[in-house]
Amino acid sequence: MNLVAGFAPFILFTILSRLSVDLALWMAFATAFVVTIRDFVESPSLRLLDAGSLILFALLALGRGFLDPGLSLASVRFIAALVLFLLLALPLALKRPFSVDYARLDPREAGWPPELFLRVNYLVSGAWTAAFAAMAMADGAVTFDAGLPLYGSVVIDAAATCQDLAAQTVSVDQHDTPRPQGANCDLGAIEADYIFVDGFDG
């Protein structure tokens, strides 16, 4: 349960980001603060995941709130997933799986034979690290426009309407780029934002 609490800020951010990126970041920061204080009271030491999540979401909330309000959800998710991947991978590389700090608080696991205890924690830490690596790669692909239509592609200006499957008008794409950029909307989740899509801009 302690391990799940360590990921609570990211889980809450993922759920709430569908409603509002700013709300999700501030709530994740508040959750990270509560988790860090609670864990520090239970055991007078800071765990890397707890402290890292607190700093991460504080910086993301302040950065998007005051420095770059236009930072897209995909970019925020990429930064969060990448930092959390590093927070998990570094201890693993140093042969101290991050989950050990949480497992030792559970009397049932702390009583296991040392070899079994370490092996299980390597597996748990490895699985979480791999999951965040996959998330960081997926969000990075979206952030860096891997799916952006190539200039001259048949998908540019090919949509009959700028509506989604629920027949709702879509005014921005996945990166908050206004739609359409040309005569019609592009097919897919990303709008090509090129100066030459419909001639010179002016």
Higher-scoring residue by pLDDT: 164, 95: 95
172 SS3 class = strand
Which phi and psi angles does 148 have, rounded to 5°? Answer: -65, 130
Q: Cα separations (Å) of 8 from 3, 38, 102, 191?
A: 9, 13, 14, 33
pLDDT, one tens digit per residue, over 16-61 is 988 899 999 999 999 999 999 987 887 777 888 999 999 999 999 9
Task: Give the mean pLDDT of 108-112.
Answer: 74
- Provide the 10 A C-beta neighbour count for residue 185: 23
Place of tokens 């302040």: 62
The domain locations on the chain are 2-143, 150-202
* Burial (CB count <10 Å: 0-12, 13-18, 19+), residue 69: exposed
Cβ-Cβ contacts under 8 Å for 38 (sequence gap 6 or more): 5
CB 36 within 8 Å of CB 51: yes
pLDDT at 145 over 80: no
Task: Give the mean pLDDT of 169-180.
Answer: 78
Q: Torsion-angle region of residue 152: left (phi > 0), alpha (psi -120 to 50) or beta? A: left
pLDDT, one tens digit per residue, over 74-107 is 889 999 999 999 999 999 999 999 888 887 777 7
Identify residue 154 by its one-letter amino acid code.
V
State pTM to two decimals. Answer: 0.68
